Amino acid sequence: MTIIDGKEVSLAVKNRIAEQVKQSGIKPGLAVIIVGNDPASRVYVNNKKKACEYCGFLSEEYALPESTTLDELLSLIHKLNEDDKIDGILCQLPLPKHLDEKEVIAAISPKKDVDAFSEVNVGKIMIGDYSFLPCTPAGVMELLSYYNIEVAGKNAVVIGRSNIVGKPMAMLLLHADATVTVCHSKTKGIKEICRKADIIVVATGRRNTLTADMVKEGVTVIDVGMNRDENGKLCGDVDFESVKEKADFITPVPGGVGPMTIAMLMQNTLSAYKNNRK
């Protein structure tokens, strides 16, 4: 059994990007907007700034008060859309309740939408002609590739159907020639479906969604979940201790998929620079 090391892979990705940036003498720019003072969001934003620094990017942060109106936020986004030194714009979610996330995402230019959440970019992923990929699913594909885990022709199961992870994850596995089944809270016979899977990606936000009796020997398990157990310790959606006994490859939480998300954001920002400044 191999524990997939997301820290190692994310460092390899960031080193590759930093090397490209250094050799070409370029300065991709990322603007991060954070509204209010959600502690988890603040941690994510700080990590994104550190990654930008590591890769040699320009990083701009716009920390707005909780009371920011939709018009004020949209006005900032429009300004950044026009700013030539900014290649990627990211608005940290969740936003305060009075702000319409859908409208905010739609306001970001598809060319600078490095989260790949806009309808245009989601549509491009669907047809397989994309500039950016949502960071978490892209990170999962990078992990599979780094560990030489064959995807083509394999049975892959995605548990979860969110717009940010589940749906795009299924599309990327499909583009890589896997046979994909998407399971969710209304799926009947999920245990039997999972037992046939060669690769299982779990993204439900619920502890112990996947247990040892649901997997076959030799499976690859990717855990996208981030939860806390009764002792306040970080854990994923997979019952790690029991499932690892049957898996050939498995991601831990923390240290698995998490570090990949920011590495792939750096990759998207570099791609945006190349596309925007041709």
Instruction: Report, as residue numbers or ranges, the catalytic residues.
Output: 48, 92, 115
Q: What is the DSSP letter of 96?
A: P
Secondary structure string (H, E, C) spanning 210-236: ECHHHCCCCEEEEECCCEECCCCCEEC
Angstrom distance (rounded) from CA 277 to CA 272: 8
SS3 content of the chain, % helix, strand, coil (to 5): 45, 20, 40
- The alpha carbon of 192 is separated from its chain's Cα centroid by a whole number of angstroms, namely 28
Output DSSP code: residue 95: P
Cα separation, 179 vs 165, in Å, equals 18
For residue 148, what are its two tokens?
């030489």
Q: Report d(CA 187, CA 43) in Å as an integer.
A: 35
